[in-house]
């Protein structure tokens, strides 16, 4: 059974969504992310992906108070990403209730620090964020492209012990046009033991079914829920 992980993206303490990572496309869905998290929990969801979009575009975590509020008032298992650049940021994330962190930019820009954290905290707590555009890694809230190719990038880190990977196809994210199933199948064929978390493009219940049928272990999705294209009732079949 595919693991369902709704996303709460945060700007200025509010629950928002972007399209293709474009901050100018911001749409606010709820002023209070805790309300959203509680609704997920009430409907049987157990996992949550929280993204500090202010942090992703900055040099440090910004919205840690929102993380603390959700973690302290729900029993959801939270992975948190966005703005984690230093040892202090890592401590802030874990001290405010994250059970796991998703790290992308630092894995590209400071691999030694990433590997230090991987050995310090363990692969159970570290999710590699592999955000790709045309199979090349993008960083800093997707505002910078890198020259790194996706599959070799994943090879480098699986050799270090990484097995949880959140892969977002940036071209699909927030567009409600369907996920990159061919890309995820390619990754799973190359790394059959990987706990791959697909992200980007989920538009309807059928997309979730297709990902499950393709053998993808987990999926992060948000906009389709917020826009009412997928209902909480739809998700019961996966519970």
A 10 A CB-CB count for 232 gives 14
How far, in Å, CA of 140 to CA of 212, rounded? Answer: 30
Per-residue pLDDT reduced to its tens digit, 12-61: 999 998 887 788 888 999 999 999 999 999 999 999 999 999 998 888 99
Per-residue pLDDT reduced to its tens digit, 223-234: 999 999 999 999
Measured in whole angstroms, the distance separating CA 107 from the mean position of its chain's CA atoms is 15
User: Residue 139: which of 87, 84, 100, 197 has the closest Cα?
Assistant: 84
Mean pLDDT of 79-94: 96
Q: pTM for this one?
A: 0.93
Domain span holding position 164: 3-238
Greatest distance between any 2 Cα atoms in the chain: 44
Residue 35: CATH number of its domain: 3.20.20.70
CB 130 within 8 A of CB 158: no
Torsion of CA 60, 96, 200, 190, to 10 degrees: 90
pLDDT at position 23, please? 85
Per-residue pLDDT reduced to its tens digit, 123-145: 999 999 998 888 889 875 455 56
Query: Which three-class secondary structure string do you get for the chain?
Result: CCEEEEEEEEECCEEEEEECCEEEEEEEEECCHHHHHHHHHHCCCCEEEEEEHHHHCCCCCCCHHHHHHHHHHCCCEEEEECCCCCHHHHHHHHHCCCCEEEECHHHHHCHHHHHHHHHHHCCCCEEEEEEEECCEEEECCCCEEEEEEHHHHHHHHHCCCCCEEEEEECCCCCCCCCCCHHHHHHHHHHCCCCEEEEECCCCCHHHHHHHHHCCCCEEEECHHHHCCCCCCCHHHHHC
Q: Which residues contact 138 (CB under 8 A, 6 or more apart)?
A: 21, 131, 132, 144, 145, 146, 170
- What is the percentage of the chain residues whose pLDDT exceeds 70? 96
Residues catalogued as catalytic: 9, 131
Average pLDDT over the chain, rounded to an integer: 93
pLDDT at position 177, please? 84
pLDDT at position 146, please? 66
pLDDT at position 144, please? 56
Domain count, the chain: 1
pLDDT at position 4, please? 97
């Amino acid at each position: 059974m595919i693991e369902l992980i709704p996303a709460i993206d945060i700007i200025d303490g509010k629950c928002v969504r972007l399209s293709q990572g474009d901050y100018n496309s911001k749409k606010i869905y709820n002023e209070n992310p805790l309300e959203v998290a509680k609704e997920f929990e009430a409907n049987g969801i157990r996992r949550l992906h929280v993204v500090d979009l202010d942090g992703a575009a900055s040099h440090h975590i910004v919205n840690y108070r929102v993380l603390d509020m959700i973690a302290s008032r729900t029993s959801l298992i939270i992975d948190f990403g966005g703005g984690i650049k230093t040892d202090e940021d890592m401590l802030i994330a874990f001290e405010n209730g994250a059970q796991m962190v998703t790290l992308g930019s630092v894995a590209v820009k400071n691999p030694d620090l990433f590997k230090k954290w991987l050995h310090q905290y363990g692969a159970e707590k570290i999710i590699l964020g592999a955000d790709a555009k045309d199979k090349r890694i993008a960083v800093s809230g997707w505002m910078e492209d890198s020259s790194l190719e996706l599959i070799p990038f994943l090879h480098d880190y699986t050799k270090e012990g990484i097995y949880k990977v959140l892969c977002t196809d940036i071209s699909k994210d927030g567009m409600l046009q369907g996920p990159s199933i061919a890309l995820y199948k390619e990754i799973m064929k190359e790394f059959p033991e990987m706990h791959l978390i697909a992200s980007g493009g989920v538009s309807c219940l059928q997309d979730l079914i297709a990902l499950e049928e393709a053998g993808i272990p987990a999926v992060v999705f948000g906009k389709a829920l917020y826009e009412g294209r997928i209902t909480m009732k739809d998700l019961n079949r996966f519970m």
